[in-house]
Homo-oligomer: A and B are copies of this chain.
Amino acid sequence: MFGFSLRPRQKKPAQVAKDRLQVLLAHERGRGADTADFLPQLQNDVIAVIRKYVQVADDDVDIRMERGDEISSLEINIEIPAEAPKKQAARS
């Protein structure tokens, strides 16, 4: 829909040891639609959900938000220390 696809960049050896998680959210409002821009609240919820699965320090989270008339987009980049993940989140 938004015409983007993943093209992983060349990895520099120093960056290879860490895992990385990238989250991109794009909200396109239909003409005449009155839907509120909920990406700012969604941002905190998405990070909280990710923390159920991996330990993430605040410094390892980079957030970019762009807000246009028709499209708002949110990009969250997270570096994950590459040791064992947290216990699998219990089925809620």
Residues of A within 8 A of B (CB): 1-9, 15-36, 38, 41-42, 45-46, 49-50, 52-54, 70-71, 73, 77, 80, 82-85, 88-89
Contact = CB atoms under 8 A, between A and B. Distances in A.
21 contacts: A2-B6, A2-B8, A2-B9, A4-B24, A6-B73, A8-B28, A17-B32, A17-B33, A19-B30, A19-B33, A19-B35, A20-B30, A21-B25, A34-B83, A35-B82, A36-B85, A38-B53, A41-B89, A42-B49, A42-B50, A45-B52
Contacts of A20: 1, 27-28, 30
Identical copies in the complex: 2
A57 to B, nearest CB: 15
